[in-house]
Amino acid sequence: MTLKTGKEYVESLRERDIRVYLFGRKIRNPVDHPIVRPSIDSISVTYDVAHDVRYANLATAKSHLTGEKINRFTHIHQTTEDLVTKVKLLRLLGQKTGTCFQRCVGMDALNALSSVTYEMDLKLGTDFYKRFIEFLRHVQRKDLVCCGAMTDPKGDRSLAPSQQADPDLYLRIVEEREDGIVVRGSKVHQTGAVNSHEIIVMPTRTMGEDDREYAVSFAVPSDTPGLIYIYGRQSCDKRKLEEGKIDQGNVKYGGQEAMIIFDNVFLPWERVFMAGEHEFTGSLVKRFSAYHRQSYGGCKVGVGDVLTGAAATIAEYNGVQKASHIRDKLVEMNHLNETLYACGIACSAEGYKTASGTYLVNTLLANICKQNVTRFPYEIVRLAEEIAGGLVVTAPSEQDFKSRVVGQYVAKYLKGIEEVPTENRLRMFRLIENISMGLGAVGYRTESMHGAGSPQAQRIIIEREVDIDSKKRLAKVLAGIEMED
Ligand code: SF4
Ligand code: FE
């Protein structure tokens, strides 16, 4: 069993022959591309923490298949403690990277598939679970990164997959053969896709009888012929091509999203976990999204810790850290952030065992968690911007700061308190800019809205899962309209 280091992970990516396009051109070497590399380094941290004795309990787990030590990102949750530990690990990684470290989607896909394929076999007499377990062994043995690919382009949202003018707007099976299937379509907003060894595809919504060909799930190596990646732009991404790092804000790490095109990709049967069993699409979507909504109660909280630290630091650099309204704003940032964490822990602690033995989160509370994530980070960002001041968006560039002509003016007039060099102040403004609206917003602000499902998706589940009739009964009993049973 391998427990890769971050370095070994980076090297393993070089062995792939992957087709990635950025700015209209194929990237020859994505691993060393300045726009891609910070996102690879971000995933590396998920490997390095597994070798750090301080985090051994958080970052590693015992495989339920082999009993061996594995990276927690390849683990199937066996207890509620595993679920709680996952949230703590994700918070830690958010703190260390200040962005999206991309590896959780794959973990969430593995866990969702482990219970759903088991239940499919129970009901249908199929062997999807056996195939899945073989795949899981491979992932654990090689300590791989998996991309959990769910979101289809969706075309006209008012139409079902089979009703679309272009039938490929949801990924589908175009051919069924004796040795496997051929699929065509696309998955969009795919976190860490280019940095993954395996792509795990799942349907994006509940499918009906007419949408059988769209009820498909499988795992495919990321460099399989027919797979094409189109790299997602991030605000200010070309700053990574500039000399100097200050203007990047987060000088170490970044996130990554890409479109994946499946241009008639062949999958052998042993890699297929669903092929037409539309009645199980609903539970796969619900379980995967619940796990990923739980994840946000960890990762976004860790990044929130970084942003709160940046706001407190810039307050100090500006000489206002003692002002009561600043202290109160920092209290509010912490209050909001810890509320998200409380939701992540709560949905984990209230998790339960499914038929396969895999533990699932409390799906109602996981959706509440994510619903709060669609709001609180926006307020946390607003407070950070208010504390920091306008230089978050008006500070001159690093080149100006280092210019032999105007650098002296930047250093002189943008200084805050005497003890702190202007450069440190500029760095802190850039970090706040990064997390709030620039390069890092993919891991924090806008992703908090749409990642793991847009707000309305959670509201649908909340309405479905809350027993409103029992609440009406409570009210009627106390109002003397009905008798208590
Ligand atoms: Fe993990 Fe958060 Fe990134 Fe999702 S958004 S992959 S939970 S770090
Ligand atoms: Fe995400």
Instruction: Kindly report, residue by residue over 248-288, the tens digit of the pLDDT.
Output: 999 999 999 999 999 999 999 999 999 999 999 999 999 99
pLDDT value of position 441: 75
φ, ψ (nearest 5 deg) of residue 345? -70, -40
pLDDT bin (cut points 50, 70, 90) of residue 21 is very high
Q: 191 an active-site residue?
A: yes
Q: What is the pLDDT of residues 325-381, one digit of tens each?
A: 999 999 999 999 999 999 999 999 999 999 999 999 999 999 999 999 999 999 999
pLDDT bin (cut points 50, 70, 90) of residue 162 is very high
Q: Say how far residue 223 (Cα) sits from the centre of its chain.
A: 21
Q: Which amino acid is at 20?
A: V
Asked whether residue 439 is domain-assigned, the answer is yes
Judge if 34 and 176 occupy the same domain.
Answer: yes
Of all protein residues, the one whose alpha carbon is nearest to atom 5 of ligand 1 is: 100
Estimate the crossing angle of helix 281-318 against helix 363-373, to 10 degrees. Answer: 40
Asked whether residue 66 is domain-assigned, the answer is yes
CA of 36 to the centre of ligand 1 (A): 17
d(C-alpha 34, C-alpha 12), whole Å: 18
Asked whether residue 477 is domain-assigned, the answer is no
Residue 111 belongs to domain with CATH number: 2.40.110.10
Ligand closest to the CA atom of residue 453: 2
* End residue of a domain, out of 247, 282, 317: 282
Q: What is the pLDDT of residues 31-52, one digit of tens each?
A: 999 999 999 999 999 999 999 9
d(C-alpha 17, C-alpha 301), whole Å: 35
Secondary structure, 3-state, 305-355: HHHHHHHHHHHHHHCCCCCHHHHHHHHHHHHHHHHHHHHHHHHHHCCEECC
Q: 296 an active-site residue?
A: yes
Judge if 215 and 332 occupy the same domain.
Answer: no
Residues framing ligand 1 (Cβ under 6 A): 100-102, 104-105, 191, 295-296, 299, 447, 451
Number of domains in the chain: 2
Asked whether residue 1 is domain-assigned, the answer is no
pLDDT bin (cut points 50, 70, 90) of residue 160 is very high
φ, ψ (nearest 5 deg) of residue 326? -70, -45
Average pLDDT estimate for 13-23: 97
The catalytically annotated residue of 97, 100, 347, 354 is 100
Q: Compute the CA torsion angle 227, 233, 234, 235 (nearest 10 deg).
A: 180
Asked whether residue 476 is domain-assigned, the answer is no
The catalytically annotated residue of 146, 236, 299, 347 is 299
Judge if 325 and 233 occupy the same domain.
Answer: no
Of all protein residues, the one whose alpha carbon is nearest to atom 2 of ligand 1 is: 299
pLDDT value of position 1: 66
Asked whether residue 88 is domain-assigned, the answer is yes
pLDDT value of position 438: 78
Judge if 304 and 269 occupy the same domain.
Answer: no
Which atom from ligand 1 is nearest to the alpha carbon of 296?
A: 7
Which atom from ligand 1 is nearest to the alpha carbon of 102?
A: 6
| Residue where the block lists tokens 């499918």 | 207
pTM over cut 0.75: yes
Judge if 400 and 388 occupy the same domain.
Answer: yes
Q: What is the pLDDT of residues 66-124, one digit of tens each?
A: 999 999 999 999 999 999 999 999 999 999 999 999 999 999 999 999 999 999 999 99
* End residue of a domain, out of 282, 297, 319: 282
Asked whether residue 481 is domain-assigned, the answer is no
**Which of 95, 100, 341 maximizes ligand 1 atoms within 8 Å of its Cβ, making it the mutation to test the pocket?**
100
Judge if 166 and 69 occupy the same domain.
Answer: yes
The parent domain of residue 225 ranges over 6-282
Judge if 343 and 211 occupy the same domain.
Answer: no
**Contacts of range 411-418, beta carbons closer than 8 Å, 24 or more positions apart:** 416/317, 416/318, 416/319, 417/316, 417/317, 417/318, 417/319
Say if CB 215 and CB 162 are below 8 A apart.
Answer: no
- Beta bridge pairs of residue 62: 69
**Which of 46, 89, 296 maximizes ligand 1 atoms within 8 Å of its Cβ, making it the mutation to test the pocket?**
296
pLDDT bin (cut points 50, 70, 90) of residue 2 is confident
> Is pLDDT above 70 for 209?
yes
**Which of 39, 49, 105 maximizes ligand 1 atoms within 8 Å of its Cβ, making it the mutation to test the pocket?**
105
Quick one: which of 150, 154, 104 has its CA closest to 274? 150
CA of 445 to the centre of ligand 2 (A): 11
- C-beta atoms surrounding 1 within 10 Å: 15
pLDDT bin (cut points 50, 70, 90) of residue 439 is confident
